[in-house]
Structure 1
Amino acid sequence: DADMGFGLPSTGREFATPDGVPRPRSLAEYRDQMRAIVRQGLVDIMLMSTSTSEVLTLEDRLFESSAVTPAIRANDATDVHVMRGSRVFQQPARPFRTTSLDHAQCGHLDCDAGERIAGSDLGLYSVTFNNDVELDRETLEAYRLFRDEAERKGFRHFLEVFHPNAAGAVEPELLMDFINDAIARTLAGVASAGRPIFLKIPYPGAEKLEELVAYDPHLIVGILGGSSGTTRDAFQLLEDARRHGARAALFGRKINHSENQLAFVEFLRLIADGDLTAEEAVPAYHAVLGKLGIRPLRSLAEDQQVTETSLSYGGADKAPPLATTSRRIRSGDGGDQSAPQFAKMTSAERLAYHQSRLKKMFGE
């Protein structure tokens, strides 16, 4: 859904070029990448702008034979208006919604009941609380109106909660407490029929993530990827979030800006399933890029670094420090005994196994 925020640069760059020099992708190529990821079948949700969903969901019927669920960005508050030269996103967020739910569901206004199943019935709704009575009241009122419309039209949503984008809105040491409390307070008055099916939040650190997860075990907490950073940043963020209770991860820019999206998604899935650690995945990913003849953006040593990465569209907020442990996340005991026994493998054996499998997928 990056085209809802960034304009032309949203499509990312194509790295597999004849001269090895990356070039901007066209909108058609951007959508082709989405088609390829859906057909790969490793992600659970494909989040799109309504215009892209119209093409992939309503025209292509791409999701009819896929386990991947189509979703649209249901609102685009002003803090995601990150065009080149824009100052809008630097000002306190104001609620705004370009799309209509009817357009997402059937492609035109006033859908008949039977038409609503043709398109997407899931959307991302984002809110930004700035600790300002008028701004936050406006944000909450817009969210309430959206929920009412969504419930009437059989449209589900997941809720994204950004950090404040107004300077000095909350003392830094209280920011994560503010976000957790704002989530709990906002949803306390919402009956089950109108509640989000899961949350999407910036990674708050281990302690605050565990606190939110423990508060309501029925609330599925997911984390957002934020800006690109290093490959290790993306992989470590997923590993840490999974370890501390997150049950979903939504990576847009980190995938879109990677050298090879299919390979990058493959490694994200391996980490999410507990089959590979972040530390192991980075050199394996670089090995795949080498086999594909794609020059990495960074050296392996640089790409193994854990850095601070931005967790807001505009780039103001920084993530809490990520762990650098190589302690393995296990997927649990038992299960299919014919599957590889990763728990019994050394790090080198796991790496060799996945490199061999990926060579078969992406070619020698």
Structure 2
Amino acid sequence: PSERQLGANLGLYSITYTNDPVRDREALLAYNAFRLEAEEKGFRHFLEVFDPNVEAMVAPEHLGGFINDAIVRTLGGVTRSGRPDFLKIVYHGPRAMEELVAYDPHLVVGILGGSAGTTYDAFKLLAEAKKYGGRVALFGRKINQAENQLAFIHFLRLIADGEIGPEEAVKAYHGVLQALGVTPNRSLADDMVLQTGVMSYGGTKTTSLPPAQAKPGVTSSPAVAPYSKPVTSTPVAIAAKSVSANNPVKPAQPLPSKVAVPASSQPDFSKMTSAEKVAWQRARWNRILG
């Protein structure tokens, strides 16, 4: 009763199994103690299970199965009131995701984003995880290092809702950047490279999307094609709609190095310091609130 009651009723517990029986048992007992206390006090949590941080403890081809087995053993016999709200794990490909979801359909499986990678990397990861049973996506660096975070999140939402595919979303995202005058970190071709193994059933290969082949007698569409079905009237959707073959925009110009930018464009957050980001946000709200 004397403990404070304010704050978010949701915590993160991270655990790393290394395939070392002694250390894994200690990690499991520590989580068990936390889980019992959290259940007693009605505190909700989600569980993050990292891949082993010690080399050569688990063969790469068995990593997905090892993590699944560790999760099942960790939560075996735990009642619903003591279970985490959802999981946060590395996506190890369709097979590992299908196995975990099929074993316990009541378990809400979420994926973590990992390194920033390409735009297609993030969009395809979300689409594939959802396709094979994933229900939560927790992206940090993939969003934080995007050229335009609002547009990036907007297209993640459209993909999660099944409104657009990842390939079309990448092209539309580049269309938004072009319309806003933001120079992308990569060309469209480079941004369509897949750096993870989401297309491999075992989750081990790197692939890329081949360029589309034009059909004889058919005029090809522009390289940067917008999403033609905006679902909202947000600035992002309007910007995407404005980029078309009939209404081309001028080539994007590099952004000025200073923080203050026109209200119609966004700075390159990946090249800004924390102080510059804070200053830009403060100036933005000053413009909004007057």
Return the TM-score normalized by structure 1: 0.56
Q: Which runs of 4+ in 1 moved over 6 A?
A: 322-326
- The answer to whether the 8 Å contact 1:255/1:265 transfers is yes
1:275 to 2:163 alignment: yes
1:300 to 2:188 alignment: yes
Equivalences for residues 137-176 of structure 1 within 5 A: 137-176=25-64
Letter in 1 for 2:34: F
Distance in 1 between residues matched to 2:82 and 2:239, nearest whole Å:
42
Matched with 1:262 is: 150
Matched with 2:114 is: 226
Aligned match for 2:204, one of 314, 320, 323: 320
- The answer to whether the 8 Å contact 2:13/2:47 transfers is yes
Count of aligned residue pairs for this structure pair: 223
1:111 to 2:3 alignment: yes
Aligned match for 1:193, one of 63, 75, 81: 81
- The answer to whether the 8 Å contact 1:125/1:160 transfers is yes
Matched with 1:41 is: none
Matched with 2:229 is: 353
Distance in 2 between residues matched to 1:150 and 1:356, nearest whole Å:
40
Q: CA RMSD in A?
A: 2.8
Distance in 1 between residues matched to 2:120 and 2:11, nearest whole Å:
29
Matched with 1:88 is: none
Equivalences for residues 1-364 of structure 1 within 5 A: 110-112=2-4, 116=5, 118-308=6-196, 320-321=204-205, 351-354=227-230, 357=233, 358-360=236-238
- The answer to whether the 8 Å contact 1:203/1:320 transfers is no
- The answer to whether the 8 Å contact 2:118/2:192 transfers is yes
Letter in 2 for 1:320: T
Unaligned runs of 5+ in 2: 211-223, 241-263, 266-290
Offset of residue 145 of structure 1: 1.6
Offset of residue 273 of structure 1: 0.5
- The answer to whether the 8 Å contact 1:222/1:248 transfers is yes
Question: 1:134-160: per-residue Cα shift (whole Å, max 9, x none)?
Answer: 211221121112112212222101111
Offset of residue 290 of structure 1: 1.9
Aligned with 2:229: secondary structure? Answer: helix
Distance in 1 between residues matched to 2:107 and 2:30, nearest whole Å:
22
Matched with 2:259 is: none
Aligned with 1:269: secondary structure? Answer: helix
Letter in 1 for 2:228: A
Return the TM-score normalized by structure 2: 0.70
